[in-house]
Amino acid sequence: LGHGHRLNGEIPTRPEVLDALCAMTPSAKKLLEEVVRARQLSPRVIARLRRVARTVADLRAPGVERVGDVHLAEAIMLRDPP
């Protein structure tokens, strides 16, 4: 990603940093809002989901600039398998 961190898990959890390094598509933002409301997720869990979704995006579509809803959905499934 060229952000100075070797691992996505090292990305700071400050909202402005997450917004810059784990940017999301509008549909991914909507999905995250719905999940946060439904599951009452803490800011820490939200940050973790965004970083995992960034990793999923990097693995599934190298070079993609923004995390899509499919990447976020996979991160959510990894956190809470059915």
Residue 1, pLDDT above cutoff 50: no
pLDDT of residue 82: 67
* Identity of the amino acid at 77: M
In sequence order, the 6+-apart residues with CB closer than 8 A to the CB of 31 are: 69, 72, 73
**For residue 79, how far is the Cα from the chain centroid?**
12
Residue 20, pLDDT above cutoff 60: yes
42-46 average pLDDT score: 94
pLDDT of residue 4: 64
Mean pLDDT rounded to a whole number for the chain:
91
